[in-house]
């Protein structure tokens, strides 16, 4: 069965006469637990909720797949209250004082800040190297966790996940991939050898810019180097920390998953068309999108991704040019985040988090008619 079909069907309830076809949100803090609480499926909502169960099953369907060796695997997923909560869950499940974590120097700022401000003071050593050229490979000696982000945000650099996973495992490190930009439909980190596939579901998976959520997936039965089950460690950590997703948000996210194949296909098609258009404009100094055949990341991205994602970046001559472009545009919403059905963009350097040009614009293609987007971008670029 093809993955798009699996995704759509995974959001439906099992066939039972008279029962609704779709899951609904279950609002509860405690559940009825007479007798031995171990005999009930649900006891208290910090530990589990039926709406999570349905959502996690659907996410696990997307994350399941086949290793490069040809061996199939089933994934297990856990949902969290935000993407950053999912990042923290992986850090907490793997690292202890004295351990070394290797992060991309150009990954999502929230992940770097979380490590620097919360885990480093606990005794974790943080090493950083760029995504491009698999530079993190040189920092693996003695590491316990290799954190990857591919494509990176906002430069859209790509690393070889399979190669780096192999090198990390040989060095005794587990591998986690922030797969938010690609989505698990566009790229399967677990199939490429990673131990954790993490995503901010606030972005493309929910797709409407109206909720916060995240998830982490692992292969069923996967363990760390000591033999501890990775899923069990994540589950215990979530229950203890309480970094949970509300039932309404879980239901909205589950409801959105069924349209992910359609939304992602349209957004990726629009992103490629916009990237090609921008490449031909004299006002644009550089376009970064791995879907372009001229992009230095294209060959590797084409090998390990099913599609190239909705996000692209381009550089205008300076801050004023980027600000003017965003002000003149009528169809691009000036906002942070990405992955919605509507097109968004921002001058990314305004946050001061990344070593990028002042005129860099990160754009997330939505599902509008691409001809309208091109016309609007053309007029917004004119000086």
Q: Among 42, 80, 108, 231, which one carries the catalytic annotation?
A: 108
- What DSSP element (H or E) covers 361? strand 360-364
The pLDDT value given to residue 257? 97
Q: Are 85 and 101 in contact (CB under 8 A)?
A: no
Quick one: the chain helix, strand, coil %, rounded to 5? 40, 15, 45
What are the backbone dihedrals phi and psi of residue 51, each rounded to the nearest 5 degrees, phi first? -70, -40
Task: Delimit the CATH 3.90.1150.10 region(s) of the chain.
Answer: 261-381
How far apart (Å, rounded) are the C-alpha atoms in residues 159 and 131?
Answer: 6
Residue 311: CB atoms within 10 Å: 28
Q: What is the pLDDT of residue 344?
A: 98
The pTM (predicted TM-score) of the whole model is: 0.96
Helices (DSSP H) in the chain: which residue ranges?
3-10, 50-63, 83-94, 109-114, 161-170, 230-241, 247-257, 260-279, 298-304, 319-328, 370-381
Dihedral sign (CA 341, 345, 348, 351) = negative
What local confidence, expressed as pLDDT, does residue 125 receive?
98
Of 38, 30, 8, 59, nearest in space to 218 by CA:
59
Q: Please tell me which residue in 178, 201, 295, 354 is annotated as part of the active site.
A: 178
What's residue 2's pLDDT? 87
Rounded Cα distance between 31 and 345, Å, is: 44
261-381 sits in which CATH class?
A: alpha beta
203 is catalytic: yes
Segments of the chain with pLDDT less than 50: none
* 108 flagged as catalytic: yes
What are the start and end residues of each CATH 3.40.640.10 domain in the chain? 3-257
**Cα-based distances in Å from 251 to 10, 211, 235:** 13, 11, 20
Pairing of strands 174-178, 196-200: parallel
Catalytic-residue membership of 46? yes
Distance CA 123, CA 114 (A): 13
DSSP single-letter state for residue 27 = -
Size (the chain), residues: 383
Nearest to 10 by CA among 210, 232, 197, 257: 257
For residue 376, what are its two tokens? 């609007």
Q: For domain 3-257, say whether CATH 3.40.640.10 is its number.
A: yes
**Radius of gyration from C-alpha coordinates of the chain:** 21
Name the residue with tokens 């202890």: 96
| Residue that has been written with the tokens 């006002």 in this structure | 283
Give pLDDT, residue 19.
87
For the stretch 7-44, pLDDT in tens is 889 899 999 998 899 999 999 999 998 888 788 889 99
**What's 219's DSSP letter?**
E
Annotated catalytic residue, options 144, 155, 203, 266: 203
How far apart (Å, rounded) are the C-alpha atoms in residues 339 and 356? 21
């Amino acid at each position: 069965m093809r993955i798009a079909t699996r995704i759509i069907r995974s959001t439906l309830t099992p066939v039972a006469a008279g029962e609704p076809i779709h899951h609904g949100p279950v609002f509860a803090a405690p559940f009825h637990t007479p007798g031995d609480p171990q005999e009930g499926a649900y006891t208290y909502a910090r530990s589990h909720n039926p709406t999570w169960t349905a959502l996690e099953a659907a996410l696990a369907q997307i994350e399941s797949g086949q290793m490069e060796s040809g061996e199939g695997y089933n994934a297990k997923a856990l949902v969290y209250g935000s993407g950053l909560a999912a990042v923290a869950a992986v850090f907490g499940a793997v690292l202890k004082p004295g351990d070394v974590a290797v992060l991309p120097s150009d990954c999502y700022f929230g992940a770097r800040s979380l490590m620097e401000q919360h885990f480093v003071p606990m005794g974790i050593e943080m090493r950083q190297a760029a995504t491009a050229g698999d530079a993190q490979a040189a920092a693996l000696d003695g590491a316990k966790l290799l954190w990857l982000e591919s494509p990176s945000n906002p430069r859209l650099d790509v690393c070889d996940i399979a190669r780096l996973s192999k090198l990390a495992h040989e060095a005794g490190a587990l591998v986690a991939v922030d797969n938010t930009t690609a989505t698990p439909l566009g790229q399967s980190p677990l199939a490429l050898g990673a131990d954790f596939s993490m995503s901010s579901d606030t972005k493309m998976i929910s797709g409407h810019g109206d909720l916060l959520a995240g998830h982490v997936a692992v292969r069923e039965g996967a363990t760390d180097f000591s033999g501890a089950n990775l899923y069990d460690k994540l589950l215990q950590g979530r229950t203890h920390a309480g970094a949970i997703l509300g039932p309404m948000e879980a239901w909205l996210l589950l409801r959105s998953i069924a349209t992910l194949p359609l939304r992602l296909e349209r957004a990726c098609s629009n992103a490629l068309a916009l990237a090609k258009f921008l490449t031909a404009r004299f006002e644009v100094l550089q376009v970064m999108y791995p879907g372009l055949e001229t992009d230095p990341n294209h060959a590797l991205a084409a090998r390990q991704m099913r599609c190239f994602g909705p996000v692209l970046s381009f550089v205008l001559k300076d801050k004023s040019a980027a600000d003017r472009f965003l002000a003149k545009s009528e169809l691009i919403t000036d906002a942070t985040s990405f992955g919605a059905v509507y097109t968004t963009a921002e001058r990314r350097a305004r946050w001061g988090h990344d070593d990028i040009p002042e005129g860099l614009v990160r754009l997330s293609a939505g599902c509008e008619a691409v001809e309208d987007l091109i016309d609007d971008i053309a007029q917004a670029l004119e000086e």
